[in-house]
Amino acid sequence: MAKIQYTSYIFNKPPDLSEKEYKIMKELFNDNPKLNINPVSSFNKTFKVEIIFLGIGIICGLIASFDIANWLNLVFGIPSFIIGITFVFSFIPSFFSYLGFLSDKSNYYSNLKKDIIKTSTFTDYINLREKRRWSQF
C-alpha cells in the first residue's frame, strides 16, 4: 500500500512571559491597544516550491490540451498528470494543516494579548494563564 506523504504544520507555544516581558508588553499595549503581536507567516514563502510546480503542471496541461501532436500530448500530459495527482494528495493536506497552524497561532497570540490587557499585575496574569490552561482539558 502506498503512503501519501505531506508536510504537517503544528504551532508550538512559546514559553510563558517573564515578569520583565510582561511589563514591557503591558506598556506597549497601554501606548497602542491595537498593537498586533502575532508574528507574520507568509503563505508564499511556505508554499513557494508547490506553487511553482503547480504553475508548471498547469502550463503542461494547457500545452497537452491543444492536441497539436500525439507525442506532444504525451510529453506534456504525463508531467501534468503527475503534478496534478501530487497536488491533490500532498499540497491540499499540507495546505489544510497550515491553515490549522495559522488558526492555533492566531488564537494563542490573541488570548495572550487579551490576558495582558485584562490583568493589572504579573501575578494576576500568571493565575489567569493557569486557569485558561486547565480549562482546556
Which DSSP string do the residues of 76-111 spell out, in sequence order? HHHHHHHHHHHIIIIIHHHHHHHHHHHHHHHHHHHH
Task: Report the pLDDT value the prediction gives residue 9, as an integer from 0 to 100.
Answer: 93
Q: What is the pLDDT of residue 37?
A: 92
What is the separation, in whole angstroms, between the first and last Cα of the chain?
A: 37
Q: Who wins on pLDDT, 115 or 68?
A: 115
- Given a contact cutoff of 8 angstroms between Cβ atoms, the answer to whether 105 and 12 are in contact is no
Name every residue whose Cβ is closer than 8 Å to that of residue 131 and which is 6 or more positions away in sequence.
Answer: none
Structure pTM?
0.78
Say what the pLDDT of residue 136 is: 65
Domain ranges of the chain: 46-135
Query: Per residue in 54-112, pLDDT tens?
Result: 888 888 888 888 878 888 888 888 888 888 888 888 888 899 999 999 999 999 999 99
Distance CA 101, CA 103 (A): 5
